[in-house]
Amino acid sequence: MLTKKILVSVLFAAGMIGAAAVPLPSQAGVDLYVNIGPPVVRYEVVPERRAGYVWAPGYWDYRDNNHVWVGGFHVKERKGHHYQPHRWVEHDGRWNQEPGRWDRR
């Protein structure tokens, strides 16, 4: 009986140590600044409104040291929110892309 209690205690302790050693997922934000601003925004034909969706206009993304055009797309609507599209912001001659997001009205 004593051996069984010791075995259970050892297994429990080993499980607690193992659980503490497992790394937890984390989120880290990385801001990318580039020295070259994006090209002029392209003209897009906005398609007909879809019920339950809003139109997110196209934008210039930065991939592999180049600005790459990403065409507009529909985003599922969030009641009580307003969609802010992707945009580039200049800070002291360097450019940073702010991703699209939802803001409360």
Domains in the chain: boundaries: 33-104
pLDDT of residue 2: 60
Question: Is it the case that residue 8 has pLDDT exceeding 60?
Answer: no
Unique residue bearing structure tokens 């969030």: 78
Unique residue bearing structure tokens 């409360």: 104
User: How confident is the model over 63-96, as pLDDT tens digits?
Assistant: 999 999 999 999 999 999 999 999 999 999 999 9
Unique residue bearing structure tokens 């206009």: 57
User: How confident is the model over 30-51, as pLDDT tens digits?
Assistant: 677 889 999 999 999 999 999 9
Q: Are 96 and 80 in contact (CB under 8 A)?
A: no
> Global pTM?
0.67
